[in-house]
A and B are shown apart, each in its own frame.
Chain A
């Protein structure tokens, strides 16, 4: 694979090489390779069905079958069970948010076990998302869509995970909430979190990310630094069909 698609930084926190994934008979990922460096915010852009979500799920180990290589801090994870991958310090916020209806807000927030030191305290999470504190006794799924998204992000900040996989955190949310999520991502980056973000909305992605990988048909087809985004607008519109 040509080097331009790799991270410019020398030490990558996450190195994905020739990742393949299947759902039953359908072959979804056809050799995905990219890097994420410590402290970066990197997005996966692409049309529906390009394989962005499957890439996150494959890193997390929740697809039925995957091959290739996913190294986190140098540890090969592609044959690990998802709970072991989580314990290395990777946390996933799924597209459907996955708020548990049989748990209240606080139970949802406290559910993921600590895997390392250095996570946010509950007080810091409530500071990021004050709504959650007000509604901590409510049933998780009684929250509004935006609050559920905040809860889904908030609960993975406590665990000490250093790499966050966020799958379309702004999908279907009001602009004011999207701005809130954007500020949160900046705040998390400032605290040293590394974030791999799946986005449909590249205008939002441009406000938070350092680099963008573009996916098509289960492969990475391009890498655009955020600073060069303006110059590559035409190309990007073509990739995304917008």
Chain B
């Protein structure tokens, strides 16, 4: 029983990262029509940013986990904005494929540069002291940091969903996803909104990276491994669906965890099996709208 709950917890943790990453991808795809393959690299950059702030700091002052949660998403988000302004904005009129190829190439370049600089063995990132330790729940031992990751990512996902589905800003975003030319003709600066949305999605990936740093090693390829699964999550949930990305992210994390307990041999493939089935039965994804 201990082992089952242990696997469920790991599943939820993985699900939290799937959800945050696929949420960013969904928001970006909805408005920009770009399949952002650099998302994994940007997640990795978030983790490295936290590592750098802790070990080198700014002006000799080492900055820990909490400041990193704010600084890393902003720094990597700005990096994303530069990419969008200088490169992606030239591709909007073309097919998805061009954006995918460009971002895929960028991901390889970024990961290559980091691997060249830091090697591929990975570096540890110390857990913040306030979140070390754990609680014995009787049926299982719950490390506090993991509980924090699950709760924090749920809050982030739900807040993002709320802003998009229930606020004025979100109504601009939804409308511009449908008909950007008309929204712009109403007096809204759509190109700027597109840029900021990309920055936000990238920042979300970096935030996930910071949260992942104390759990996984800070490694130049940490995003490359994860992003493949995240894309499967996005395909299963349905491209562009916000709620779909969140629910599918957590749901598939749990499915993966359960598979590890009941049939460990299939745990690394179960998500892809589900993807194949969903593609055959409901090509637009579980929450996607048929075009």
Residue A227 CB within 8 A of the other chain: no
Binds B, one of A26-34, A104-112, A175-183, A205-213: A104-112
- Judged by DSSP, the binding face of A is loop
Binds B, one of A94-102, A126-134, A185-193, A232-240: A94-102
With A83-B190, A113-B188 as given contacts, are A101 and B183 in contact (CB-CB < 8 Å)? no
| CB < 8 Å neighbour of A86 from B168, B174, B177, B185 | B185
Max chain A CB contacts within 10 Å: which of B171, B172, B186? B186
CB-nearest residue of chain A to B190 = A83
Least CB distance, A26 to chain B, in whole angstroms: 17
With A98-B179, A100-B179, A110-B168 as given contacts, are A83 and B174 in contact (CB-CB < 8 Å)? no
Please report which residues of chain A, range 93-151, place their CB below 8 angstroms from some CB of chain B when the two chains form the complex: 94, 98, 100-103, 107, 110-113, 115
Please report which residues of chain B, range 167-189, place their CB below 8 angstroms from some CB of chain A when the two chains form the complex: 168, 171-172, 174-175, 177-179, 181-189
Chain A residue contacts of B187, Cβ below 8 A:
83, 86-87, 112-113, 115, 159
Least CB distance, B6 to chain A, in whole angstroms: 41
Render A9-20 as a binary contact track against B, CB cut-off 8 A, 1 for contact: 000000000000
Size of the chain B interface, CB-CB below 8 angstroms: 18
CB-nearest residue of chain B to A101 = B178
- Judged by DSSP, the binding face of B is helix
A113-B176 Cα distance, complex, nearest whole Å: 14
With A100-B178, A100-B179, A102-B178 as given contacts, are A110 and B171 in contact (CB-CB < 8 Å)? yes
With A62-B181, A111-B183 as given contacts, are A102 and B188 in contact (CB-CB < 8 Å)? no
Size of the chain A interface, CB-CB below 8 angstroms: 25
A82-B183 Cα distance, complex, nearest whole Å: 9
Chain A residue contacts of B188, Cβ below 8 A:
83, 113
A16-B174 Cα distance, complex, nearest whole Å: 34
Q: CB distance A111 to B186 under 8 Å?
A: yes
Chain B residue contacts of A202, Cβ below 8 A:
none
A86-B190 Cα distance, complex, nearest whole Å: 13
| CB < 8 Å neighbour of B186 from A86, A102, A103 | A86
Report 10 cross-chain contacts, Cβ distance below 8 Å, ordered by A residue: A60-B185, A82-B184, A82-B185, A83-B186, A83-B187, A83-B189, A100-B174, A111-B186, A112-B186, A115-B187
A residues adjacent to B (C-beta < 8 A): 60-62, 81-83, 85-87, 91-92, 94, 98, 100-103, 107, 110-113, 115, 156, 159
B residues adjacent to A (C-beta < 8 A): 168, 171-172, 174-175, 177-179, 181-190
Q: A111-B172, A156-B186, A159-B186 are in contact. List 15 more A-B contacts (CB 8 A).
A: A61-B185, A62-B182, A62-B185, A81-B184, A82-B181, A83-B184, A83-B188, A85-B185, A86-B186, A92-B185, A98-B179, A100-B179, A110-B168, A111-B183, A112-B186
